[in-house]
Structure 1
């Protein structure tokens, strides 16, 4: 399955907007400079008190649908 590593730096207040459903998609940059779009619901799995900060691996199905997210390192 395809995957991409992204750097995500979102404050707690930015994450709250995603969690409330005010924002449906998250834009982040991959480590190789590509702009990546993934569903905001994915943040619920990795949210901390101070937001979401670190490098994460996004896994997609073969047809490009988001499947999972895993933390590679905290930022």
Structure 2
């Protein structure tokens, strides 16, 4: 399993584009500089009235398939 750590700050309006399905993927830069893209559906549970703010851990399986996304701070 591969783990990637990153920080994300999105406004509520930016999140709504993802939440409503207008944008299909999220691309982030993890701590070592690698760019990672994953389906936007996985951030829906983290959207608040402020948007999304915090540190996250993304876990992928050996074939780069999604395993989990969790907020760590």
Which of structure 1's runs of 4+ aligned residues deviate more than 2 A?
Answer: none
**Structure 2 unaligned spans of 5+:** none
Is the 1:8–1:29 contact (alpha carbons within 8 Å) kept by the matching residues of 2?
no
CA distances 1:14-66 after superposition (whole Å, capped 9, x unpaired): 11000111000001111112111111001112111111111100011211011
Task: Give the structure-2-normalised TM-score.
Answer: 0.91
3-state DSSP class of the match of 2:42? Answer: helix
**Structure 1 unaligned spans of 5+:** none
Q: Which residue of 2 aligns with 1:25?
A: 25
What is the Cα-based RMSD across aligned positions, in Å? 1.0
Q: Which residue of 2 aligns with 1:42?
A: 42
CA distance in 2: counterparts of 1:37 and 1:56, whole angstroms = 14
CA distance in 1: counterparts of 2:43 and 2:3, whole angstroms = 17
CA distance in 1: counterparts of 2:4 and 2:20, whole angstroms = 26
CA distance in 2: counterparts of 1:13 and 1:67, whole angstroms = 27
Residue 31 (structure 2) pairs with residue 7 (structure 1):
no
Q: Which residue of 2 aligns with 1:58?
A: 58
Number of equivalenced pairs: 73
